[in-house]
């Protein structure tokens, strides 16, 4: 069954970046796919409960930080009868080793999935060197 390969539990982030939060809440580490394409790198993160207004993406020097705030939506006058997951913010931090064209970074959010496209700077794009046969 396909579901046996899924990592079921939400992982808590080890320590929120930039020290502790003033608000007492959990911070989870979102599952991430990173795809390298010819001209860019795509970072895709699962952050359910996050929309375009509640996600912060920063690139400081070569540290890429993704932070998503989630406001818990607790139904009124109901009691929790089954609780399998916790609700909290999301954070993930990556170190980029190569140059990224900062001006052209684009990020979108759809159905709780954050997608960041980091275009490679021209200097690091792989150049194909053609080999000529000696005459």
Partner 1 sequence: MVWSDFERFGRLWDPWADFERMRRALYRWTTAPFAEFPLVNVWASGEEAIVTTEIPGVDPQSIDISVTGKTLTIRGSRDPEELRDGESYHRRERWTGQFTKTIEMPFAIEAGTVEAKFSKGVLRIIAPRAEAEKPKKISVKSD
Q: Minimum CB separation from partner 1 for residue 28, in Å?
A: 10
Instruction: Give the whole-angstrom CA distance, residue 84 versus residue 9.
Output: 9
Contact 40, 29 (CB under 8 A): no
5-24 binders of partner 1 (CB under 8 A): 5-10, 13-15, 17
* Tokens at 110, concatenated: 């759809």
Q: Is 121 exposed, middle or buried (0-12, 13-18, 19+ CB in 10 A)?
A: middle
Contact 83, 106 (CB under 8 A): no
Instruction: Say whether residue 60 binds partner 1 (CB under 8 A).
Output: no
**Residue 51: CB partners within 8 Å, gap ≥ 6?**
109
Contact 31, 7 (CB under 8 A): yes
Instruction: Say whether residue 95 binds partner 1 (CB under 8 A).
Output: yes
Find the part of the chain contacting partner 1 (CB under 8 A) among 18-26, 108-116, 127-135.
Answer: 108-116
Instruction: Say whether residue 110 binds partner 1 (CB under 8 A).
Output: yes
Instruction: Say whether residue 129 binds partner 1 (CB under 8 A).
Output: no
Q: Which of 111, 130, 133, 135 binds partner 1 (CB under 8 A)?
A: 111
Nearer to partner 1, 82 or 123 (CB): 82
- In the complex, which residues of this chain contact partner 1 (CB under 8 A)? 2-3, 5-10, 13-15, 17, 29, 31-38, 41, 44, 46-51, 63, 73-75, 77-85, 92-98, 110-113, 124
């Amino acid at each position: 069954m396909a579901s046996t390969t899924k990592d079921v539990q939400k992982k808590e982030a080890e320590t929120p970046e930039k020290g502790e939060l003033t608000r007492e809440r959990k911070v989870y580490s979102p599952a991430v796919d990173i795809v390298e394409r010819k001209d860019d790198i795509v970072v895709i993160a699962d952050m359910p409960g996050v929309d375009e207004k509640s996600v912060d993406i920063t690139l400081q020097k070569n540290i890429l930080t993704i932070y998503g705030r989630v406001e818990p939506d607790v139904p009124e006058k109901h009691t929790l009868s089954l609780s399998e997951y916790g609700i909290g913010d999301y954070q993930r931090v990556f170190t980029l080793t190569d140059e990224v064209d900062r001006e052209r970074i684009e990020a979108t959010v759809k159905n709780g999935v954050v997608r960041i496209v980091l275009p490679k700077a021209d200097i690091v794009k792989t150049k194909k060197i053609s080999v000529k046969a000696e005459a």
